[in-house]
Chain A
Amino acid sequence: MSASASENSEIILETKDLNVFYGDKQAIHSVNMQVKKGTVAALIGPSGCGKSTFLRSLNRMNDFVSTARVDGKVFYQGKNLYSKKVDPVELRSQIGMVFQKPNPFPKSIYKNITWGPKINGFTGDMDLLVEKSLKRAALWGEVKDRLHDSAFDLSGGQQQRLCIARTIAMNPDVILMDEPCSALDPRSTQAIEDLITELKRRYTIIIVTHNMQQAGRISDETYFFHEGNLIESGDTKQIFTKPSVQMTEDYITGRFG
């Protein structure tokens, strides 16, 4: 467990009996989870186990899937995200998301960062914000001389760091990452992993990964999903060395998945 987490073990995000359905099919079965502030939580499990679906229910991105239905509660700072009083648009400015494939906007590097803050009413110094966000995303040195070039001119790994930078620019409390390295080469993956370790001092990160070594390297807590059920969760070291459920052990040791 990281230093900041042990100093401050406040729960920032909590799910209670969360069920997600796609039409008649149930994708997530009654998941309970508590994420502590300033930690990295890794969601692992075989393809199709529901970890991405679960992640997307934490910032209500499943709202865009017309057949999706969520049942149960997600508490963020004590409020249920699925209560009628919560505006999902505002919520998403506080819980950021980085996607599986880099998805920069067809705009300049600079505007990719400033767009989110601008539409959400940020009135401070944009240049400063761009510099700070790019520095935190470890991209500043590579792009500082071409901020007004198209974001499409960047390499895949740079694009993904740009997407992280634009998420950071919103100053969110929580960043959700959906297999952010799956489309990247090993060196870019290394850069993003270093970045995540660096970022968790400021942000709480929940990351979906199919790469168990990655989960082991960067996370404080690990959640193992299988067929929509949360099978086991706990301290990452413990899950990887002494899992208490046989299925977790089988998955981690590569016997299935």
Chain B
Amino acid sequence: MKNIKNLFIEKSIHLFLLISVSITILTTLAVIVLLGKESIAFFSEVSIISFLFGTNWSPLIEPQSFGVLPLVCGTMWIVFGSVIFAVPVGLLVAVYLSEYASDKVKSFLKPILELLAGIPTVVYGYFALTFITPLMKWFNPEIEVFNAASGAIVVGIMILPMIASLCDDAFSAVPSSIKQGGYALGANTFEVIKDILIPATKSRIGAATVLAVSRAIGETMAVTLAAGATARLTGDPFGSIQTMTAYIVQVTMGDAPAGGVEYLSSFAVGTLLFLMTLVMNIIGNQWVFKSRIRVV
């Protein structure tokens, strides 16, 4: 009797787990099918070449033009700006947390970092619009209200906790015996960090950077609010731009009638975005994987 009951429980748990797993797989498949179907519809009207290499993005205003490069340019401004800010600062925060901070300071700082990571992105958008941009205009009044730099800074602040926490994890994974070996040779803390800790964790720092890049690529609300909605292939970070994500928001908010080519274009942009983050995540995961094999 007990055996039958156990068997039943065992089977139902198995089934339950299987359902949970299939939900995630089915969702991914559904997203891919949806993006693919609508993208195919889009590319039956616009050629892939003119989409990928066109330099004019004007889907809502006649004459229509679907060159995606201005949107990619907007996204790249956000990615490079935020990563250049967040990776060095995140690394320094992690170095401080793991090597210099006392347990007391650490127990105070870690929750703050986690809090920073938990703030809704739309709030970050407001923060950029009402604090960072005015601060920048205080230095230079010429700067536009919506600008790429403000968006990049705020996305940098958003991804900072993730980088700091990943690097901190990487540093803690270095056995303390190796660090002690360094100190026992008459090294100071800085030399141990520079020559032992960072080289030993460089692949994990690289992985953290790649994951940060893919988060910055996908970031939507904050950049929509901070960086504007002007698709421009521009070298000026202090002017308004439009990122790929911000364009999708614009279309789905009702700026384009469903079914039209301008509506379909948001799916093509979405597919490109999906592929970009997918590639970054694969690179990032491989880096982490490689570094696991390498012990430290």
Contacts and interface: CB of A to CB of B under 8 A. Distances in A.
B185 A92 contact: yes
A170 interface: yes
Interface stretch (B62-70, B159-167, B195-203): B195-203
Interface stretch (A5-13, A93-101, A128-136, A238-246): A93-101
Interface stretch (A26-34, A58-66, A196-204): A58-66
Contacts of B186: 89-94, 116, 119-120, 170
B181 A105 contact: yes
B295 A152 contact: yes
Interface stretch (B15-23, B72-80, B172-180): B172-180
Given A61-B184, A93-B185, A116-B187, A99 B177 contact: yes
A221 B127 CA distance: 70
Interface string A88-129: 011111101101010111110000000110011000000000
Contact of B184 (A92, A107, A119, A152): A92
Contacts, number: 69
Nearest to A169: B185
Given A97-B184, A106-B200, A115 B177 contact: no
Nearest to B103: A66
B169 interface: no
Interface in A49-103: 59, 61, 64, 66, 89-94, 96-97, 99, 101, 103
Given A106-B199, A119-B191, A119-B195, A170 B177 contact: no
B178 A66 contact: no
A163 interface: yes
Interface string B185-225: 11110010001100110000000000000000000000000
Interface residues of B, number: 22
Contacts of B295: 106, 152
Nearest to A152: B295
Given A106-B178, A106-B296, A66 B102 contact: yes
A99 B187 contact: no
Interface centre among B187, B196, B295, by most chain A C-beta atoms within 10 angstroms, is B187
Interface string A135-147: 0000000000000
B184 A59 contact: yes
Given A66-B102, A115-B195, A170 B185 contact: yes
B183 A116 contact: no
A224 B1 CA distance: 64
A167 interface: yes
Interface string B100-111: 001100000000
Contacts of B181: 99, 103-105, 163
B4 to A, nearest CB: 51
A226 interface: no
B185 A61 contact: no
Interface residues of A, number: 28
B182 interface: yes
A103 B185 contact: no
Contacts of B183: 61, 64, 89, 92
A101 B103 CA distance: 26
Interface centre among B102, B180, B184, by most chain A C-beta atoms within 10 angstroms, is B184
Contacts of B177: 99, 101, 103
Interface string B278-296: 0000000000000000111
A166 interface: yes
A138 B39 CA distance: 67
A49 B58 CA distance: 79
Nearest to B189: A89
Contacts of B103: 66
B296 A96 contact: no
B137 to A, nearest CB: 47
A107 B180 contact: no
A48 B199 CA distance: 35
A99 B186 CA distance: 15
A99 B200 contact: no
Contacts of A120: 185-186
A94 B185 CA distance: 8
Contacts of B191: 119
Given A106-B200, A107-B199, A61 B180 contact: yes
Contacts of A66: 102-103
A105 B196 contact: yes
A229 B102 CA distance: 31
Contacts of A59: 184
Interface centre among A61, A96, A116, A152, by most chain B C-beta atoms within 10 angstroms, is A116
Closest 3 CB pairs of A and B: A93-B186, A116-B185, A97-B184
9 contacts: A61-B180, A61-B183, A89-B183, A92-B184, A92-B186, A96-B185, A104-B178, A115-B182, A166-B185
Interface of B: 102-103, 175, 177-178, 180-188, 191, 195-196, 199-200, 294-296
